[in-house]
Chains A and B, each alone.
Chain A
Amino acid sequence: MTSTPHYLRVARALALVTGLAGVSTGCGDSHGRDDAGGGMRDSGPSILTDAGPPGFDAGPPGREDAGWPLSDAGAPPDAGPHVCETCSCAFGADAGPLPLCQGDDEVMCCLAIGPLFPPSVAA
C-alpha cells in the first residue's frame, strides 16, 4: 500500500476533510532537510479513506486524475506524536500532533504562490 503524500495530508486537513484535531496520529518527523533528494516514494495514486463521495474520481479518459481509491485513514496508529517542521510552520508549533501526517517526502514547485484571477461566468 502506498501512503498518502504529505502535501495531500496537509491539504485535506486544511479543506476540513480530515479535521485539524482528533486524529492525532502524529507527524512522523522527517519532512525536513534530511529528506533532500530522497526522491518520490509516492508517485503512484494515493489511498484515501475518507475522501468524499462514493465513486470519487475515476476521471475522464486521458486525464491524470484517475485512480484515487478511497480507503485508508492515513498514518499507522503507532506513528510518533511529532510535529514536523513544515507542519509546525503551517499550523503553529502549539497545535500539537497533526492529523495524518507521518514521514514522507515529496517534491514540487511553487512558482505561482498567490491566487489566480477567477474566470467570469455569466448567469
Chain B
Amino acid sequence: MSRLRPALSETPLAQEHQRVAAALERVTVDPSVRFDASLYPADTVAEVREQWRARMIFEHRSSTVFSQLADQLFEANASLDAKVVMLRMAQDELRHTLTCAEVVEALGGEPEGEADLTLERLAEHPGVSLEQRALRNVIFTTCCSEMVACARFVAVLDRMSDPYLRQVNRRLLADEILHGQFGFHYLEAWRPWLEANPDELVALERFLEVGFATLERELAPTGPFVPPTEPEIALGADDPALAREVFYGTITGAVVPGLERLGVPAHRAWHARRLA
C-alpha cells in the first residue's frame, strides 16, 4: 500500500494542469461557497469525509480504466474523436481525484489516503476480436457503470442541501454525463460493423450476461439498510437502499432500452445474467 496524496508539483506542469482543468470545467465555481462544519454533527461530517476519501482513491484508480481503454480504442481502429474523448475522460478522473481531496480537506481531514497503486489490467477477453474487446469494455464502463453513477449523482443532488457539497457534486456530474453517454455514441458509430458481423453481436450478448451480473454485484448493495439521518441526507451521504433502487431503475429503465435501440440484445442478456 502507498500513501496517495493528490498534489501538484511546484513546476510549470502545475500551471499547465490548471489551464487544462480550467478549460474543461463545465460548472461555474463560486469560491465564496465554503463548508461550514458547525451546521452538522461532528460524527456525520467525519463519516462523509471518509466517503470522499474513498472516492478520491477510487477516482484515481478509475483513471486507469479509461487510459487503458484508450489504448484498446487505438487497437480497434476507432475514430479519432473517440480516442480523444476517451483520453479526456481518463483526465477527468484524475481531476476528480484532486476535487475529492479538496473535499476531504474542507471537511477537516488530511487530503490523503492509503491506496494500492498497482495497476489493474483492463479486461482482455481472450480470443475475441480487437473491435469486440473495445466494444465490451466501452459498454460496461460507460453505458453501464458510469450511467449508474450519473443517476446516483442526480438522485443525491435532488435531495442534498449543503451548498458546498452541492457545488462539488454538480462539478463532478457535469463530467460524468459525458462518461455515461460516451458508449451510446460509440455504439452508434459501430452499429454498421455489428450488423455486418452477426457473430460479434452474439459475442457481445454473451459478455453482457456476465457484465450485468457483475454490475449488480458491485452496484446494488444488499440489506439490511439503515435509513439515513437528516444530516446525512443534507450532506449527500451514502444511502445503500437507494443505491440499490437507482441501480435497478437505471439499468432496466435506461441502459437496457438504450442498448436495445442500437441493436444490442441487452434485454435478453439482462434476464440471462450470470456471474462467470
Contact = CB atoms under 8 A, between A and B. Distances in A.
Interface of A: 4-8, 10-12, 14-17, 31-33, 35-38, 40, 43, 46, 48, 50-53, 56-57, 59-60, 63-65, 68, 85-86, 89-92, 104-123
Interface string B54-74: 110011011101100000000
A10 B146 contact: no
Considering the complex of A and B, which 3 residue pairs feature the smallest CB-CB distances, nearest first? A114-B62, A15-B258, A52-B257
A15 B124 CA distance: 25
B156 to A, nearest CB: 5
Contacts of A122: 125-128
Interface stretch (B11-19, B30-38, B75-83, B167-175): B167-175
A107 B143 contact: no
B159 A107 contact: yes
Main secondary structure, interface of A, reads loop
B260 interface: yes
B198 to A, nearest CB: 15
Contact of A89 (B149, B174, B238): B174
B161 to A, nearest CB: 3
Contacts of B240: 109
A35 B256 CA distance: 29
B130 to A, nearest CB: 12
A6 B117 CA distance: 37
Interface string B254-274: 111111111000010011000
A44 to B, nearest CB: 10
Contacts of A105: 158-159
A117 B120 contact: yes
Contacts of A56: 252, 256-257, 267
B219 A112 contact: yes
Contacts of B251: 65
B225 to A, nearest CB: 11
B239 A113 contact: no
A107 B155 contact: yes
B142 A115 contact: yes
A113 B65 contact: no
A121 B246 CA distance: 26
Interface in B170-221: 170-174, 176-177, 179-181, 184, 188, 203, 206-207, 210-211, 214-215, 218-220
Contacts of A12: 253-254, 257-258
Given A110-B236, A118-B214, A123-B127, A90 B155 contact: no
A65 B172 CA distance: 28
Given A7-B158, A56-B256, A64-B244, A110 B169 contact: yes
B141 interface: yes
Contacts of B257: 12, 15, 17, 50-53, 56
A7 B96 contact: no
A95 B104 CA distance: 32
Contacts of A110: 55, 149, 152-153, 156, 169, 236, 238
Contacts of A51: 253, 257
